[in-house]
Amino acid sequence: EEHINFMLSKIPMGRFGTVEEIAAMACFLASDEASFTTGFCFDQSGGRAVY
């Protein structure tokens, strides 16, 4: 639990992503809606990955 709270404290949105949120991105990328999308990095970290 201590590790989970530490990780949550580092995520600006204050929560982990849900399975549904990750699945939605996978479905989008596999769909025709993403047919013009190339060479992009989709960050689903809730803002944790700051470059």
Domain carrying residue 16:
2-34
Residue range 17-32: mean pLDDT, rounded? 94
In a domain, 46, yes or no: no
Residue range 32-42: mean pLDDT, rounded? 89
In a domain, 47, yes or no: no
50 pLDDT exceeds 70? no
- Domain count within the chain: 1
51 pLDDT exceeds 70? no
Alpha-carbon gap, residue 25 to 43, rounded angstroms: 10
Burial class of residue 38 in the structure, from the number of CB atoms within 10 Å of its CB (0-12 exposed, 13-18 middle, 19+ buried) = exposed
In a domain, 23, yes or no: yes
Amino acid identity for residue 17 in this structure: G
Q: What is the pLDDT of residues 2-19, one digit of tens each?
A: 999 998 888 888 899 999
In a domain, 16, yes or no: yes
In a domain, 6, yes or no: yes
Q: 40 or 50, which is more confident?
A: 40
In a domain, 7, yes or no: yes
Alpha-carbon gap, residue 15 to 5, rounded angstroms: 10
